[in-house]
Amino acid sequence: MVLVVTPEFSCRTNATNNEEAAAKAAAVDADTGAPTIFSCRTNATNNEEAAAKAAAVDADTGAPTIFDKIIAKEIPASIVYEDEKVLAFRDITPQAPVHVLVIPKLRDGLTQLGKAEPGHVEILGQLLHAAKLVAEKEGILDGFRVVINSGPSACQSVYHLHLHVLGGRQMKWPPG
Ligand code: AMP
């Protein structure tokens, strides 16, 4: 499942899809809450892959994901916004001039949006509102995109729910 919230719709273009195999690989530990990053991106960096390997060490133990380590300030991140429940930081492999990830500080079973329960409604709303605050702070309120990759078919690579806030350039549609 892919959730895309975007203020623009007239930007259709051809999309390529060469990410399915990598996404299926990412599904292996999807339900374990394990820390995983898989290379769905054709332009994945060594940093991303190294972080993935480090995060995967405790894949089946329920140990902190790489995002938990960012929350705990165990690894550095460029923090854009923070409140009691939410943390937003710049993506290490930006896909747009502005590319910020918005995450719940408490994972609480939300390894992916597909695991959302009624009890998660409040935090889900807070995450969306935080995405708007990030867009405002980054000066992209005139046009930005919010993406949630949920599950292997959507090429999710980190199993701690996160919203991608993208902007600062003209977005295309479909997203691929
Ligand atoms: P997704 O593929 O939707 O699960 O997105 C995961 C995102 O996390 C990717 O866009 C990665 O570039 C990003 N990412 C992975 N590790 C880090 C990190 N240490 N700091 C910031 N972003 C990261």
Quick check: is 14 in a domain? yes
With cut-offs at 50, 70 and 90, classify the pLDDT of residue 90: very high
Phi-psi region of 89 (alpha: psi -120 to 50; beta: other; left: phi over 0): beta
- Is the domain of 11 the same as that of 79? no
Q: How far apart are CA 38 and CA 2, in angstroms?
A: 17
Residue 65 sits in the same domain as residue 88: yes
126 φ, ψ (degrees, to nearest 5): -65, -35
**What letter does residue 12 receive in the DSSP assignment?**
B
CA of 8 to the centre of ligand 1 (A): 24
> Could you tell me if residue 49 is inside a domain?
no
Q: For residue 161, what is the DSSP state?
A: -
What atom of ligand 1 comes closest to residue 154's alpha carbon? 3
Ligand 1: residue of 29, 37, 147 to mutate (most ligand atoms within 8 A of CB) is 37
Compute the distance from residue 19 Cα to the ligand 1 centre, in Å.
16
134: left (phi over 0), alpha (psi -120 to 50) or beta: alpha
Domain extent for 69: 58-167
pLDDT, residue 176, reads: 81
Q: What is the pLDDT of residues 148-161, one digit of tens each?
A: 999 999 999 999 99
Distance of CA 56 from the midpoint of ligand 1 (Å): 14
149: amino acid identity, one letter: N
Distance from C-alpha of 116 to C-alpha of 101, rounded to nearest angstrom: 18
58-75, pLDDT tens digit by residue? 443 455 789 999 999 999
The predicted pLDDT at position 55 comes to 43
